[in-house]
Amino acid sequence: MGNPMNGNPGKRVEIPSWLLEKERWDDRGAKSGGTHFLAKTLHRFSEMFENEFFCERYAAKPMLLQRIDPRAKIAVLLGLMVFSAFCSSIVVLLALGVVALLYAGLSGLDLGDFLRRTWAYLPAVVFLCSLPGASSLITGGTPLFTVLRPGFAGLPNGLYFTAGGIAMAFRLALRPGISLSFAFLLLLTTRWTRITGALASLHVPALLISILNMAYRYIFVMSEMADDMVAARFLRTVGKLEAADNRRFVSRSAAQMFLKSHYLSEEVYDAMVCRGFAGKPVSAEEFRIKAADLVFVLNNFVILLALIAGEAIF
C-alpha cells in the first residue's frame, strides 16, 4: 500500500505496519492487554445514568401498575413486603414471588432483567451465607445429605445438612428477594416525583420527604460531577496508568468531591429559599382515587387473605 510522492510515480512509500494496527477494546472499555481504570470507571458511571433512563422508560408505559394511583401501590406493595417478612411457609413465600413476577409481566417489564436485578445477587448471597447455619455444626436434626462421614477431621457426627436447616436458608433467601421484587415494581412503574408526592399525601413527615428528594437528586448530581472529573482525566491520559497513580487519583478526587458537595449544598439551599421553599415539599399533581385503584386494592386484599390461609395450611 502506498501513494505517489514528490511527483515521482515510481517511488512509493509503505505505511508502517504498527500504524495499520487497530486497538482492540472490549465492551467495558478496557484494553485487551489489561484493565483500563479510567475507561472502566466511565463505563460504570454511564451504567448509573442508563439505569435512571431505564426506570423512566418503564414508568411511562400505559400498563397495569403504571395506571394505579401511587398511594394505592405504596400501601399494597408495602403490605405484601411486611407480610413476607413474617411469613414462615416456603410455599407461601414462593407464591408471593409468583405474584411479583405476574405484576412485572402485566406492567410490561422485561422479566429477564427483572429477575436478574431482584434474584441474582442478594438472595443468592444470603443463601450461601446461611448454609453454615444449616449444617450439623450449628443445627441438629435429621440429616438431609452428608458431606463428611462421622469421625472425619475430628468430627464425631461428621458434617451433614439437615432438612430444617436448608428450609431455614431458603426462607432467609426468599424474603429479601421478595422485598426487592416489590420495591423494584414500585420504582420501575412510578416516577420518583409521584412517589414522594404520594408519601406527602399519606402524611409522611415533610422532613423525611425532603431528605429523600435531596438524597435522590444528589446521587445523580454528584455522579455527573465525578463523571466529568474522570472524563477530563481520561482525555489527558496517554498510555497505561500505574496502580499507584490510580490510587492517588481516587483519593484526590474523593477529597475534591467532598469540598464540591459542601459548597453545592449551600448554593442549592440558597436557591431553594429564593424560590420560596419553606421546609415543606409541594407537589403540583393532585391525586384522586379511581375505580381501578379500588379494584386493585380489593384484589390484593383477597390475595393477602388467601396467602394467610396458605400460611396456616402449609
Separation between Cα atoms, residue 188 and residue 1, nearest integer Å: 55
pLDDT band at 44 (very low <50, low <70, confident <90, very high): low
Give the three-class secondary structure for 9. strand
pLDDT-based confidence at residue 93 (cuts at 50, 70, 90): very high
What stretch of H or E contains 148? strand 143-148
- Cβ contact 200:209 at 8 Å: yes
H or E element in which residue 19 lies: helix 17-20
- Contact 194/71 with Cβ under 8 angstroms? no
pLDDT at 32: 39
Q: What is the DSSP letter of 109?
A: -
* Per-residue model confidence (pLDDT) at position 94: 94
Instruction: Give tens-digit pLDDT for 117-149.
Output: 899 888 999 999 988 888 877 777 777 777 777
Give 69: exposed, middle or buried? Use CB within 10 Å, 0-12, 13-18, 19+: buried
What pLDDT is recorded for position 259? 80
The helix/strand/coil state of 10 is: strand
Q: How far apart are CA 114 and CA 301, in angstroms?
A: 24
Of 3-12, 180-189, 248-257, give the range with the top mean pLDDT. 180-189
Condensed to tens digits (0 to 9), the pLDDT of residues 178-230 reads: 999 999 999 889 988 888 888 888 888 888 888 888 877 777 777 777 777 77
Mean pLDDT to the nearest integer, 237-244: 72
In this prediction, residue 17 carries a pLDDT of 58
**How much of the chain, in percent, has pLDDT values that exceed 90?**
29
What predicted TM-score, i.e. pTM, was given to this entire model?
Answer: 0.72
What average pLDDT score do residues 92-114 get? 92
Contact 14, 1 (CB under 8 A): yes
